[in-house]
Every structure is written in C-alpha cells, then in structure tokens.
Chain A
C-alpha cells in the first residue's frame, strides 16, 4: 500500500496542470461494508472487517480457531484479531465497527487498499462462542460504483461448550473469554443454533427470542473508488 501511495505522490508533484492530475491519479480501491443484523434477539458485538490478500485466513472450517478468534467469539472482543491483522503485510486494512449491532440495525465501515479479499467476524452475544463470518470473499469482480449483497451464516468457534448457562454467555452477565477449550470438538464449524430453556434445556439462560436461523446478517459491499 505504501508504495502505491508514493507513486501517486510522485505523480502529483511532477504535474503542474490540475486537470491532467485528475486524469492520471490512481485511486486506491475503497469499499463501504454495511452489515445488518437479521436476528430477533442476538445483538452482535463490534465486528471486525479485514481487507487482505490470499494468504490471510481469519479462520478455516474444520480446524481449530486461533486464540484471537476465540477471544472474539467467546467474549465479543475484536482487539486481538484487529492487532494481528494490522501487524501482517498480508492485510491492507482492518477496521472494527463503531459499536454493537443491535437486532435489526445496520452499521457501515470503510476499508481501503489494493488487496481484494474480504473477511469479517462478529460475535452473537447470546451464545457461548457463535459468530457471523465471511471468509476470504473475492472482490475483484466489483467495479467502481457497483454493490453486492451477501447473506452471512453463523459459525461456532468450537472453543467453548454450548452450555447456554448464564455463567458462560456474555449477554446473560456471564464470562467472556476463557482460555480453556472445553468444547468436545475444537473446530470451527457451522453453528447448530441455540436450544434455549423454552425448548426444554432447563439449564439454559436463553429463551425463544434468542433462537436464530441463517442468514443472521446481511452485508452490502459497495466499491466506492
């Protein structure tokens, strides 16, 4: 990214005519990512949106989650994933949403760079370790001004047993991240949904309003420039 900026800067300094400058300026691709929470009762903790190259993998289905993803999925804390993404040259831009995405609401964030893969994740806070995910979605077909709508599925980080107890679910005043991996199957996978006390799991702190089906979020990707 920095080399492209320098090149653009040289272009400016060597050119006296402002019209010509406009013609020759190479604009860095920029995308507006708007996420809508499609659930009835699952607020989503601040999601992370990453623009990256083909080498970066936020998570891989069927393999163990990174500690950073575990931290996001169990406690809604995106800071470690953000820091890791920003520290690697495989990532052009990594941003967190400005806040919680309450059910039915929408938030947008902008990412910028030459890399053309997009990943995102955000915790469903009335779960043990469930999150919405988009993994390495290729953006190269999007022209300037074009937009695309995607529907997101829900994943289970596989790092915490889905007890649904008040003590373990953040939005039920339970704990967030715990380094112990007590899920019998320590692999990222599709989330099977919550059972809830209304369906007979008496130890669950959740009720019918917390149930969900996919898609749990809608994403509109608009290429701005």
Chain B
C-alpha cells in the first residue's frame, strides 16, 4: 500500500480526476425493521463490472442460495474470482431488528463499487440489497437507504416449512399458504402478508411482526 500511495502522490497532478485509489472504508449496517432478522451479511468492494444481481433478470444460483437459505459462500467465491475485497458475517451471526454492525474494508484499486446482501428472515426468498454502489472518492460519511428484494426463485407461500426459521419465534403453524409461483426475476419484494392466526389461516407469518416497508436497512459508509 505504501508504494501505491507514493505512486499516487507522484501522479496526483495529472490524474486528479480519474485516478483509482485504494480506500479504507468503514461500513455500518443497521436493520431498520420491526421483526425481520438478517442472516450473516456479505459486504464486498468489487470492480464496477461485477454485479451480484440485476432487477428484472433471473437470479444466479448463488444469489438464490443466499436469498432462500442465507448461504453467502457461493457469492463470496464468485467475488473471489474477480479479486474483490470481501467481508462475510461481520455481525457474527444474525443481525436482529434495530441493531447495527460494523466492518472495515481496505479496498484494492480496482474495487470501486460496494455491494451488501443478506437474507431476510422470515421470508421465502427476500433479501436486503445494496447493489453495485459507486463509492465516492472524497472522504466523508455517506448514508444509503436499502430496499428489500425478492430473488424470484421461490414462491412466497409464507409457510414456515418453506422458510429456514423465524428467529423471533413469532410465527404460527398450520396455514394453507398462498397459492403463488416463483416470479422468475429479481424485483422489489412486495412484503410479507402474514395473518393473526397462529394455528391456521393463510400464512404462518405474523401480520403484526413480520411486515415491513422500504427502506429495511441503512448502510453508512465512511470513506477515510
């Protein structure tokens, strides 16, 4: 890094507007929801040409694994192949509603864009997504509102048998579930419906605990 900085200093005059620089980033992620937990987060700085997902397009197998089961290992492997800077599981487990976690990334020159993803529990295939956000080069703190996406890979039945867990244990059982199919493309999540019946009804989710509106998370990035 010292050598890079030296090189940068020598060429600053000519490259002021276009140079890429290694950056130290402090990334804070807050869960803004009432009763939704985030599975272990994936935080990554990567080249602008890399993207974890595209709205309107079918999810990759590794995005599906994250969105349906909280497994970010496949996405981390994908990012490794493009020499991205990757931090997984900064919260050492679930990120509970109303809580914040923080991590630091020292990014390589080429890794100019930031992405953050994690599954939302309890949902069928909902996830929070900061997608390919261009990190400013000017030092300072930047706050971004994060939306909930639906991976489109699994029908939103809202049956607890189709969902890994409700960490807050507000779910019911015995529902009929919604008669829907997987949408087939990544999009903004329409939200959980839920109901107030813990032993039947249409949904095993709880309407009072498991709903949300965007933004579901806040990411605060400090560029050192």
Please give, as numbers and ranges, the residues of chain B lying within 8 Å of A151 by CB-CB distance: 147
Chain B 121-160 interface mask (CB, 8 Å, partner A; 1/0): 0000000000000000000000000011010100010000
The size of the chain A interface, using a CB distance under 8 A, is 26
Most buried by B among A41, A209, A214: A209
Most buried by B among A199, A200, A208, A212: A208
Q: Which of B202-216 contact A (CB under 8 A)?
A: 202, 207, 212-214
Residue of B nearest to A212 (CB): B190
Please give, as numbers and ranges, the residues of chain B lying within 8 Å of A36 by CB-CB distance: 55-56
Q: Which of A180-215 contact B (CB under 8 A)?
A: 196, 198-200, 207-215
Chain B 174-188 interface mask (CB, 8 Å, partner A; 1/0): 000010100111011
Most buried by A among B147, B190, B195, B214: B190
Q: Are A39 and B190 in contact (CB under 8 A)?
A: yes
Please give, as numbers and ranges, the residues of chain B lying within 8 Å of A198 by CB-CB distance: 178, 193, 202
The size of the chain B interface, using a CB distance under 8 A, is 25
B64 CB-CB contact with A under 8 Å: no
Q: Are B188 and A216 in contact (CB under 8 A)?
A: yes
Q: Are A209 and B214 in contact (CB under 8 A)?
A: no
Residue of A nearest to B215 (CB): A214
Distance A151 CA – B57 CA, assembled complex (angstroms):
17
CB distance from B65 to the nearest CB of A (A): 21
Residue of B nearest to A38 (CB): B188
Residue of A nearest to B131 (CB): A149
B191 CB-CB contact with A under 8 Å: yes
Q: Are A104 and B180 in contact (CB under 8 A)?
A: no
Please give, as numbers and ranges, the residues of chain A lying within 8 Å of B180 by CB-CB distance: 207-209
Q: Are B187 and A199 in contact (CB under 8 A)?
A: no
Q: Are B187 and A103 in contact (CB under 8 A)?
A: yes
Q: Are A208 and B190 in contact (CB under 8 A)?
A: yes
Distance A151 CA – B185 CA, assembled complex (angstroms):
18
Please tell me which one of the listed residues B57, B147, B183, B193 contacts residue A199 in the complex, with CB atoms under 8 A apart.
Answer: B193
B189 CB-CB contact with A under 8 Å: yes
Q: Are A38 and B190 in contact (CB under 8 A)?
A: no
Q: Are A212 and B193 in contact (CB under 8 A)?
A: no
Chain A 27-39 interface mask (CB, 8 Å, partner B; 1/0): 0000000001111
Please give, as numbers and ranges, the residues of chain A lying within 8 Å of B202 by CB-CB distance: 198
Q: Are A38 and B214 in contact (CB under 8 A)?
A: no
Q: Are B183 and A38 in contact (CB under 8 A)?
A: no
CB distance from A83 to the nearest CB of B (A): 31
Please give, as numbers and ranges, the residues of chain B lying within 8 Å of A224 by CB-CB distance: none
Q: Are A218 and B55 in contact (CB under 8 A)?
A: yes
Query: What are the nearest 5 A-B pairs in CB distance?
Result: A104-B185, A211-B190, A38-B188, A104-B56, A36-B56
CB pairs A–B below 8 angstroms (17 shown):
A36-B56, A40-B150, A40-B187, A105-B56, A151-B147, A196-B193, A199-B207, A207-B180, A208-B178, A208-B180, A208-B190, A209-B190, A212-B188, A212-B190, A213-B147, A213-B213, A214-B188
* A38-B55, A212-B188 known, 17 other contacts, Cβ within 8 Å: A36-B56, A37-B56, A38-B188, A40-B150, A40-B190, A104-B183, A104-B185, A106-B56, A198-B193, A198-B202, A207-B178, A208-B178, A211-B190, A213-B148, A213-B188, A214-B188, A216-B188
Show the binding face of A for B, using Cβ within 8 Å.
36-41, 103-106, 151, 196, 198-200, 207-216, 218
